[in-house]
Amino acid sequence: MTIYLELRVGFIAEEDEILNNIPIPGKNFRAITYDEKEGIIRLGWHEVFRLSPTKEEHRITFEVDLRVDVAQNTIRIFHEFEESPIIFVNVPKRLKLYV
Protein backbone atom coordinates (compact mmCIF):
# COMPACT_ATOMS: atom_id res chain seq x y z
CA MET A 1 0.00 0.00 0.00
CA THR A 2 1.29 3.44 -0.93
CA ILE A 3 0.24 6.53 0.96
CA TYR A 4 0.52 9.95 -0.64
CA LEU A 5 0.54 12.96 1.61
CA GLU A 6 -1.08 16.09 0.31
CA LEU A 7 0.92 19.25 0.81
CA ARG A 8 -0.59 22.58 -0.06
CA VAL A 9 1.62 25.56 0.53
CA GLY A 10 1.37 29.09 -0.73
CA PHE A 11 1.75 32.80 -0.30
CA ILE A 12 -1.14 35.16 0.31
CA ALA A 13 -1.31 38.92 0.86
CA GLU A 14 -1.12 39.81 4.55
CA GLU A 15 -4.63 41.27 4.63
CA ASP A 16 -6.29 38.32 2.83
CA GLU A 17 -7.76 35.36 4.69
CA ILE A 18 -7.94 31.59 4.41
CA LEU A 19 -9.90 29.04 6.40
CA ASN A 20 -8.54 25.49 6.71
CA ASN A 21 -6.16 26.14 3.81
CA ILE A 22 -9.08 27.13 1.59
CA PRO A 23 -9.51 30.75 0.45
CA ILE A 24 -12.67 32.39 1.72
CA PRO A 25 -15.09 33.03 -1.19
CA GLY A 26 -15.82 36.67 -1.85
CA LYS A 27 -12.44 37.80 -0.62
CA ASN A 28 -9.87 39.30 -2.96
CA PHE A 29 -7.91 36.07 -3.24
CA ARG A 30 -4.63 36.29 -5.13
CA ALA A 31 -2.53 33.57 -3.54
CA ILE A 32 0.23 31.63 -5.20
CA THR A 33 -0.35 28.00 -4.28
CA TYR A 34 1.40 24.70 -4.94
CA ASP A 35 -0.77 21.61 -4.46
CA GLU A 36 1.50 18.57 -4.23
CA LYS A 37 -1.25 15.96 -4.55
CA GLU A 38 -2.36 17.19 -7.97
CA GLY A 39 0.95 18.79 -8.98
CA ILE A 40 -0.74 22.13 -9.69
CA ILE A 41 0.61 25.65 -9.28
CA ARG A 42 -2.17 28.25 -9.12
CA LEU A 43 -2.43 32.02 -9.09
CA GLY A 44 -5.62 32.69 -7.18
CA TRP A 45 -8.16 30.23 -8.53
CA HIS A 46 -6.46 29.84 -11.93
CA GLU A 47 -4.24 26.88 -12.73
CA VAL A 48 -1.02 28.14 -14.33
CA PHE A 49 1.06 24.98 -14.39
CA ARG A 50 0.49 21.26 -13.86
CA LEU A 51 3.27 18.74 -13.27
CA SER A 52 2.90 15.26 -14.70
CA PRO A 53 1.86 13.07 -11.76
CA THR A 54 4.49 10.48 -10.86
CA LYS A 55 5.44 8.59 -7.74
CA GLU A 56 8.81 10.32 -7.68
CA GLU A 57 9.44 13.22 -5.36
CA HIS A 58 9.67 16.66 -6.94
CA ARG A 59 11.67 19.60 -5.71
CA ILE A 60 9.78 22.89 -5.92
CA THR A 61 11.67 26.07 -4.98
CA PHE A 62 9.93 29.38 -4.27
CA GLU A 63 12.23 32.40 -4.59
CA VAL A 64 10.65 35.51 -3.11
CA ASP A 65 12.19 38.91 -3.87
CA LEU A 66 10.84 41.46 -1.41
CA ARG A 67 13.58 44.09 -1.63
CA VAL A 68 12.34 47.55 -0.71
CA ASP A 69 14.20 49.27 -3.56
CA VAL A 70 12.52 47.15 -6.28
CA ALA A 71 9.38 48.64 -7.85
CA GLN A 72 7.58 45.30 -8.26
CA ASN A 73 8.10 42.35 -5.98
CA THR A 74 8.43 38.98 -7.68
CA ILE A 75 8.08 35.31 -6.86
CA ARG A 76 9.88 32.80 -9.04
CA ILE A 77 8.97 29.12 -8.87
CA PHE A 78 11.46 26.50 -10.01
CA HIS A 79 10.64 22.84 -10.64
CA GLU A 80 13.68 20.63 -9.98
CA PHE A 81 16.60 22.30 -11.77
CA GLU A 82 14.79 23.90 -14.71
CA GLU A 83 16.35 27.12 -15.91
CA SER A 84 13.12 28.85 -16.94
CA PRO A 85 11.02 29.49 -13.84
CA ILE A 86 7.39 30.46 -13.54
CA ILE A 87 7.44 34.16 -12.62
CA PHE A 88 4.78 36.19 -10.81
CA VAL A 89 5.22 39.98 -10.65
CA ASN A 90 3.49 42.72 -8.71
CA VAL A 91 3.41 40.58 -5.58
CA PRO A 92 2.13 42.39 -2.45
CA LYS A 93 4.87 43.82 -0.21
CA ARG A 94 3.59 41.99 2.89
CA LEU A 95 2.92 38.28 2.54
CA LYS A 96 1.83 35.38 4.72
CA LEU A 97 3.03 31.85 4.09
CA TYR A 98 0.35 29.24 4.65
CA VAL A 99 0.62 25.48 4.87
User: CA 66 to CA 43: how far, in whole Å?
Assistant: 18
Domain range for 81: 8-17+27-98
Is 55 strand, coil or helix? coil
Residue 1 lies in a domain: no
User: Of all helices (H) and strands (E), which one includes residue 48?
Assistant: strand 46-50
pTM of the model: 0.56
Residue 13 lies in a domain: yes
Residue 69 lies in a domain: yes
Instruction: Tell me how many domains the chain contains.
Output: 1
CB 8 within 8 A of CB 96: no
Render pLDDT for 17-61 as a digit per residue (tens, 0 to 9): 666 555 555 555 567 777 777 777 777 667 777 776 666 666 777
